[in-house]
Chains A and B, each alone.
Chain A
């Protein structure tokens, strides 16, 4: 490294002349980003217009792969399952998180820091680790069935990951477990920012705890709700490793999801174009959901 040059060239007035200076700083980022993210994204869109088995020649099919999304029952089911997962990954944690945070926010409880650390732990574990753990919990002779038997609910025991009706909710519940801590901590952070005087004012108006929550707390944390929903909905839509490890889409195709279909079609069954179409649809869906959530939940004026 050469020492800084103490020359007049460094004076702010001269900076405008060297228009390429910023691009020098951007170059490494732009090169890696362009080559390994932007370019493949464009290529995916291109792939999605072809029929290709990954080896031979490809045939241009226009939007036929996208038409399949509507007519192919397997793909339709996959997107339907993704919607169910959104309920488990996003809505359920939001309801729990709001309730827990609303109760804890007004009370001075000790140990909140430790609580935050603990409920965040599921968030940092690899999904594979989570999946292996929950597979053991859901096993026919696993702790869940053992616990049900112990409290006399034998008739509820089952092979949780081998049951056509129960496997998807069982997988979804893993998502609830992973996301609830994150959402709770986000809600707590949002609520702690509401000034105490506002609570006092609402109370003086004669509002009870419920009205206080809907009239003051909820509107004040719209930003945090938007963030929580964005993160969790996207996580639900991107679910891959969880399904790959717990159920591999089964039994039948009762737990297959779009991300799993992308993998299967591109690398197992030789439908590369179809896989790309699912991937692009998923991406558009994620962008659209981001947009909608931010429109609905964010207040008009920027925070």
Chain B
């Protein structure tokens, strides 16, 4: 099809307008974060250092890393194992167990957080890694099992049978053949789970009332409460909290976007 030059120009204009709409607030924050105090000029990178130390972000980013790492490690392994069973084996009860897990994808955090807090408080388990990480693991396992099952269903059956005839055990077929082959699916899941866990707010807010497991987004909200007027300091803190996820996203965005799209239409 022949597209006129005017139309091409309008298309690029549209691309730029939409991209600008997405980027403008981010640009505002980045710009604000290096604003010097009133009356001075130049670029004040000191805001970052000040936000970093005043907001205790070294500690909270560490907590975030610990929580995300724990959730990721357990959710990944559990989802791969469960997806393998659902995707490659025929067994009684799968028709009940799988829909039950699917339900978890739709259940909002709000629906589980109230009893989680009161029941774990009774057990003396609030303010522990358990209380903060395990509910998020459960949510990620719901998605991950669905996701990995979809991969294992499409995995080449002939390869699996050949390996089994050669005497490979189920476990070996899984870890030595299917998992390496499924790297794209696994990477997408890793990015999504890491992002969700890193960005989660309600669960760490409720499950660690004394702040022992306060994650970076919570620390940012708290920091905002204490520095309502210090806009540039706040902006710098916001950038610090966003940076890890943005870096992961920019490195793996190809996988991430493709994963989102494939997962979206696979149904």
Contacts and interface: CB of A to CB of B under 8 A. Distances in A.
Interface of A: 4-7, 10-12, 15, 19, 21-23, 25-26, 28-30, 32-33, 35-38, 40-41, 43-44, 46-47, 54, 96, 100, 103-104, 106-109, 111-112, 115-122, 124-130, 132-137, 139, 142-143, 177, 180-182, 184-186, 189-190, 223-224, 227, 231, 234, 237-238, 240-241, 244-245, 258-259, 262-263, 266-267, 272, 275-276, 278-280, 282-283, 286-287, 290, 302-303
A19 B78 contact: no
B213 interface: no
A108 to B, nearest CB: 7
B114 A26 contact: no
A124 B245 contact: yes
Interface string B1-43: 1010001101110110011011101101100100000000000
Contacts, number: 300
B208 interface: no
Given A40-B119, A43-B119, A262-B114, A136 B108 contact: no
Given A241-B201, A283-B111, A136 B134 contact: no
A125 B23 CA distance: 12
B56 interface: no
* Chain B binding surface SS class: helix
Contact of A186 (B168, B171, B264): B264
Contact of A129 (B19, B118, B145, B217): B217
A223 B167 CA distance: 43
A278 B29 CA distance: 35
B111 A41 contact: yes
B139 A30 contact: no
B108 A282 contact: yes
17 contacts: A22-B91, A23-B93, A26-B86, A28-B74, A30-B97, A33-B101, A33-B142, A100-B14, A107-B7, A109-B15, A118-B22, A119-B18, A126-B198, A129-B217, A185-B261, A223-B267, A266-B117
A35 B245 CA distance: 29
Interface of B: 1, 3, 7-8, 10-12, 14-15, 18-19, 21-23, 25-26, 28-29, 32, 74, 77-79, 81-82, 84-86, 89, 91-94, 97, 100-101, 103-104, 106-119, 134-135, 137-139, 141-142, 145, 161, 164, 167-172, 195, 198-199, 201-202, 206, 217-218, 220-221, 224, 231, 234-235, 237-238, 241-242, 245-246, 249-250, 253, 256-257, 260-261, 264-265, 267
